[in-house]
Structure 1
Amino acid sequence: MSVSGVRATARIVARADGRGGTSLPVLEGEGPLALRRTRGSGSEARVMLVGAMSGPLGGDHFTVEADVEEGARLRVQSAAATIALPGQAKGEARYDVRLRVADGAELQWLPEQLISAGGSELRVGTRVEVGTGGRLVLREEQVLGRVGEEPGRSSSRLTVRVGGRVVLDQELACGPGAPGGWDGPAVLGGHRAVGQLVVVRPEFEARPVPARVLGEGAVVAPLAGPAVLVSAVAGDALRLRRVLDEALGLVA
């Protein structure tokens, strides 16, 4: 690794194959970002993101891009949690995700948790463009620190546009040096796992999903346009996943 950290990009292009399925004409990974096609279901193609190295470490910059073309269906998962760690290079690590879903296409973006280990600094930026008539399920989960350790500093920004219109643009910063109040009752309330689920469906335009509270620490909120946001906090990653899975069953 150079003093400036590792730079790596992974790219996926999903395209309708004309026979009722989805092909992957582009499936490219670099360095720590390895992509593997797995067994799909029906017209859906499936890809596993495999971390071939530790990280991201301080100074690293990882980028993952997925482009789902009209008529294609893609499901992306990761083989294990991603752990942000302190590194020899100075500066924060960056992890950017760029997703594009065309009109009539569908993407399920379901990676495992991102763990902010003690001493790490990580900035995550996720931008999603969904065409009119596109369908999306996106899950993000963050765990602040491993068992028995204080968390590193993490900041994340998620922006979702549907049909060219912004339906969600939110940012969260946690850990040492983050703006005050991040661990207070109005934000995490002492919890160490936080996640969100964004679901975009054309039918939500005519039949919006109603707002509701799901147990303790989770809420369903309709967004402008055909989209809904589920936000949740929990004591650990396992409980957080259970809440988000329950919410997905209710709204999708």
Structure 2
Amino acid sequence: MIATGVAATARIGARGDGRGGTALPVLEGDGPLALRRTRGSGSEARVMLVGAMSGPLGGDRFAVEADVAEGARLHVGSAAATIALPGQAKGDARYDVRLTVADGGELRWLPEQLICAGGSDLYVTTRADLGANARLVLREEQVLGRVGEEPGRLTSRLTVRIAGRTVLDQELACGPGSPGGWDGPAGLAGHRAVGQLVVVRHEFGSEPVTARCLGESAVLMPLPGPAVLVTAVAPDARVLRRLLDEALGSLTPGR
């Protein structure tokens, strides 16, 4: 018998409740992707993504979709790190994230790290489509291998569109079998943790952010439109989180 992977999709829909808060008329988990609403703050609704099974494994196809309407505020996190593992099924695993935020909506997408265990092969795509006056905080953290373990293979593509205009479309490939140089000075330079932080706020349109280095292993770059990208590399997940948290604090003062 030929092993086949698991296909699963989780969907979140956030809408204003008419009383200054946020309702979640759509909250659907599927298979290994479970969703739990937790206590939010103010008008923000908070959802945790809970992995009900190990994975993604080789051959799996996971997807998460979040749709935030005008006037809604949604914060999405995860209960634990996601660990990509080799599986019995042939082929890579795929994890697709699709985010839509309407004008006047706000999304904070802050999951825990994605860890590519030795022998795994994962392709991740994240696409965010935003209205002209939408707000977004999106954090991605990827770790190559567990402690004392060779890295798995990771290909990650991140795309952000604002009012139909693409402001960011980048792809990272690293780990065994990836194009040469991924671990060299022009790539991860021996680091095993890499992260991206995208912040979209209409204030950046009138108060542009200046490109700058954030220490020795992180850089901040303004994007076309009211958006900023922070990219960082680090020896481990703990240091990476600190770098991205410090960058986020500087970009969202008083939050």
TM interval, short-chain normalised: over 0.9
CA shift at 1:216, angstroms?
1.3
Q: Mapping of 1:129-208 within 5 angstroms?
A: 129-208=129-208
Runs of 4+ with deviation above 3 angstroms: none
CA shift at 1:4, angstroms?
2.1
Match of residue 81 from structure 2: 81
Matched residue type, 1:52:
A
Match of residue 221 from structure 2: 221
The TM-score normalised by the length of structure 2 is 0.98
Matched residue type, 1:185:
P
Show CA shifts across 1:20-65 (max 9, x none).
0000000000110000000010000000000000000000000000
Show CA shifts across 1:178-223 (max 9, x none).
0001001111010000001000001111111111111111000000
Q: Mapping of 1:18-57 within 5 angstroms?
A: 18-57=18-57
CA shift at 1:148, angstroms?
0.5
Question: Matched residues in 2 for 1:103 and 1:217: separation?
Answer: 34
Superposed CA RMSD? 1.0
Question: Matched residues in 1 for 2:181 and 2:128: separation?
Answer: 28
CA shift at 1:3, angstroms?
2.1
What is the aligned length? Answer: 252
Matched residue type, 1:79:
A
Match of residue 209 from structure 1: 209
CA shift at 1:122, angstroms?
0.3
SS at structure 2 position matched to 1:248: helix
SS at structure 1 position matched to 2:40: strand
Question: Matched residues in 1 for 2:185 and 2:163: separation?
Answer: 35
Question: Matched residues in 2 for 1:207 and 1:186: separation?
Answer: 31
Match of residue 103 from structure 1: 103
Question: Matched residues in 1 for 2:65 and 2:179: separation?
Answer: 30
Show CA shifts across 1:56-76 (max 9, x none).
000000000000000000000
Question: Matched residues in 1 for 2:203 and 2:148: separation?
Answer: 44
Match of residue 68 from structure 2: 68
| Structure 2 gap ranges (5+) | none
Question: Matched residues in 2 for 1:176 and 1:234: separation?
Answer: 19
| Structure 1 gap ranges (5+) | none
Show CA shifts across 1:76-108 (max 9, x none).
000000000000000000000000000000000
Match of residue 234 from structure 1: 234
Question: Matched residues in 2 for 1:209 and 1:47: separation?
Answer: 30
Match of residue 248 from structure 2: 248
